[in-house]
Structure 1
């Protein structure tokens, strides 16, 4: 069952319940009102009979005793004196009202009792001055006829209401779901081959516009992910092809010569080893990037002091690169050592800062690097500065994209994966990283982490 039919049936069922309850309520209220009105008329007739009985007591011979009402069908009257004897002289009608002593005693006690006798609706009233009991009943032919007519009208109205509601609901819901169906059709037309298409916003109401905007935002992310994937595969293939082509070229050149000396053969093997090492480095970088993409932040990670990691890294890098000059400074000395602590993975953080410091050394013109730690009430930052050629403004936004290499890196060895790995590690620790070109050819990478509470 499709949504349109389901909504139609549900709406029709709800309206039907309301209509049936309304019609039933109207019918029973009318029935109660008719019964009360007829009961009041019977009471009025009983009062007339009591007056007639009073006249009978005063002058029995002159009382004819005829009681009638043109609007009451089959009027029945019975009168009992104080001794509960049936007084038959005040009416010329033969009453068919069934009664017993218990009913008469009940009327004497309650003064007025309403009851039914077959098709007759009856009232029994106890009067004083003179004391008597009047039983009066009649068949409310006209009232019951109108009540039956009302019932038929209500049944027809309910049936017509339900039918018209179903038709109107079907048409209305069809109009309401029309843009949704169109929206669905447009969604079905979008696939991985045409992710550049977007849902139009002007033709929909506010709610569908919000849905369309969310869907378009998702398409933007998907398109970006697909483009990133294509770019990643393209650049990875290109980077792998370069050492493979070099290895093939050296191998073919060596095989084509019959007079290859031992020294020349060693040079070929050294060159092949360099290309193989380049492939291993590239593969390791790709594996790292893939592994880090699957990791998630954990509050169970141990507390790590960033300043201690930096001290140890700087010492190790100075031993590896003897010409490097690295200074570790504090913008302000923190009052609490916890200001520079965070929950993290020690090995990953060391890898990130090692990459940043080695990059700063590799692209520095004077081999001097300044690492500055700055902390405030909410965050602490690590600035890594070096002097060298600025990254072009057009390249700055793409610095952290895998395989991207700026104009200042064209003559340097590398794959363009280091900063991508660093960014992933920093974001894994809920931090941020950005590049700033300062004056006097100073390049600054800033890593920012939120202080633990």
Structure 2
């Protein structure tokens, strides 16, 4: 069932319930008021008839004649007068005697002073009437035909109005639900136009900040992120293809060249050495891509434990020097005294080592002395790491782009690289809730500062 239909039915049900409760309260109130007013009328009629009998001394035959003349036309009140010993003094119609008084009834009226009760659809009232220091019992009964007809008319009209009101409410509910859901329907129609190959479409938004406008704005923001992700993915795949194609083409060219002509041992060694170098480049690229994928995981999926940063830095320096004997590192503590606990934080040892190796390797390979200076200090309860070199520096226009995956600036001709290292390092540092900043001057050196 569609939400529009559900809302219409729910709206109709709630409104119908309210109308039903309202009509029921009105009908019950009208019924109680009719009952109360007719008892009051019976009491007045009983006292009036008693005054005519006792005070006006109207003959009983005259009163009975009046009763019989009016009985068929206006539903005259039937009145009976008794003394306290249950002797009948007067009765409008003994032959009818609808109430059929009993000694117990007379005694109850005498003891309570007044009673009211229903006998079928007739209403009966009994009361005490005093005259010449004597107490008499008067009963009065009648059928309120006019009142019951009014109640029936009220009930019939209420049912008719209730039925037509429900039909009207359902129609109005469908109309307003259609009007309310029309903007959502329009949004759905526009959304159906969006696909992986057509991500430039955006939902129309209105100046007023209602819920649908906020939904459209949020959806457009999501589309922006998706479009950026798709573009980044295309760029990523294109760069990977380019980075892999170059060393693979070099390997193929070297091997084909070695097969076409007979070579000397030295030439074969040179060819194998070049092929090995290109294979190492492919291996390093693959490792960087795997590390980049790991650094892009949800932090809740990565294992964090207490890790000593100084020990990771020492391992990274050792690993760099083993891979390339020409690279040198210098590790120092800027503060006079650093507690062991200040170098311990919750982190992933493998990823942090990858980040530090990338920074150390960059510092070594972009400087002529192949030396990277690493300093450790504390700043505002945070651990500060600086990776400095006296290398060629980074042009000002490239500083804001060096953390972009596969981006290589104007110094790319200085040495080989694939543009993944710094972007990978930044992801790892952010994964550990840290920050990384760079300062550089051409031909003077570069310093990358990490706060953890």
The alignment's TM-score, normalised by the length of structure 1, stands at: 0.88
Question: Helix, strand or coil: the match of 2:387?
Answer: strand
Contact 2:291 2:351 in 1 (8 A): no
Of residues 220, 224, 249 in structure 1, which corresponds to 2:224?
Answer: 220
Deviation at 1:120, TM superposition (A): 1.6
Question: Helix, strand or coil: the match of 2:55?
Answer: helix
Matches within 5 A, 1:310-321: 310-311=313-314, 313-314=316-317, 321=325
Of residues 87, 90, 94 in structure 2, which corresponds to 1:88?
Answer: 90
Deviation at 1:37, TM superposition (A): 0.9
Of residues 177, 182, 192 in structure 2, which corresponds to 1:173?
Answer: 177
Deviation at 1:43, TM superposition (A): 1.1
Of residues 363, 368, 373 in structure 2, which corresponds to 1:360?
Answer: 363
Alignment partner of 1:419 is 2:422: yes
| Equivalent residue number for residue 382 of structure 2 | 379
Deviations 1:71-103 (A, max 9, x none): 951421122112111223677985322333333
Deviation at 1:125, TM superposition (A): 1.2
Of residues 196, 208, 211 in structure 1, which corresponds to 2:212?
Answer: 208
| Equivalent residue number for residue 40 of structure 2 | 40
Runs of 5+ unmatched residues, structure 1: none
| Equivalent residue number for residue 126 of structure 1 | 128
Alignment partner of 1:275 is 2:278: yes
Report the CA distance shift for 1:107/1:368 in structure 2 as closer, same or farther (over 3 A). Answer: same
| Equivalent residue number for residue 236 of structure 1 | 240
Question: Helix, strand or coil: the match of 1:246?
Answer: helix
- How many pairs align? 445
Of residues 122, 127, 152 in structure 2, which corresponds to 1:148?
Answer: 152
Of residues 309, 324, 328 in structure 2, which corresponds to 1:324?
Answer: 328
Alignment partner of 1:429 is 2:440: no
| Equivalent residue number for residue 397 of structure 1 | 400
Deviation at 1:273, TM superposition (A): 2.0
Contact 1:65 1:92 in 2 (8 A): no
Paired with 2:265 and 2:370, the residues of 1 have a C-alpha distance of 39
Paired with 1:169 and 1:368, the residues of 2 have a C-alpha distance of 78
| Equivalent residue number for residue 75 of structure 2 | 73
Paired with 2:257 and 2:442, the residues of 1 have a C-alpha distance of 50
The alignment's TM-score, normalised by the length of structure 2, stands at: 0.88
Deviation at 1:237, TM superposition (A): 1.0
Of residues 288, 293, 298 in structure 1, which corresponds to 2:291?
Answer: 288
Report the CA distance shift for 1:194/1:14 in structure 2 as closer, same or farther (over 3 A). Answer: same
| Equivalent residue number for residue 254 of structure 1 | 258
Paired with 1:175 and 1:369, the residues of 2 have a C-alpha distance of 68
Deviation at 1:431, TM superposition (A): 1.9
Paired with 1:233 and 1:73, the residues of 2 have a C-alpha distance of 100
Deviation at 1:61, TM superposition (A): 6.5
- Structure 1 window deviating more from structure 2 (263-272 vs 155-164): it is 263-272
Report the CA distance shift for 1:375/1:73 in structure 2 as closer, same or farther (over 3 A). Answer: farther
* Aligned-residue RMSD, C-alpha: 3.0
Question: Helix, strand or coil: the match of 2:77?
Answer: strand
Deviations 1:204-240 (A, max 9, x none): 7511111112112211221122112111111111111
Question: Helix, strand or coil: the match of 1:159?
Answer: helix
Report the CA distance shift for 1:62/1:225 in structure 2 as closer, same or farther (over 3 A). Answer: closer
Contact 1:372 1:383 in 2 (8 A): yes
Question: Helix, strand or coil: the match of 1:294?
Answer: coil
Contact 1:72 1:140 in 2 (8 A): no
Deviations 1:252-297 (A, max 9, x none): 222222x433332332222222222222222222222223333625
Deviation at 1:138, TM superposition (A): 1.1
- Structure 1 window deviating more from structure 2 (15-24 vs 145-154): it is 145-154
Runs of 5+ unmatched residues, structure 2: none
Paired with 1:153 and 1:442, the residues of 2 have a C-alpha distance of 95
Alignment partner of 1:25 is 2:25: yes
Deviations 1:126-183 (A, max 9, x none): 2334211111111112122121111122112211211111111111111111101111
Report the CA distance shift for 1:102/1:436 in structure 2 as closer, same or farther (over 3 A). Answer: farther
- Structure 1 window deviating more from structure 2 (217-226 vs 92-101): it is 92-101
Report the CA distance shift for 1:371/1:276 in structure 2 as closer, same or farther (over 3 A). Answer: closer
Of residues 100, 103, 110 in structure 2, which corresponds to 1:101?
Answer: 103
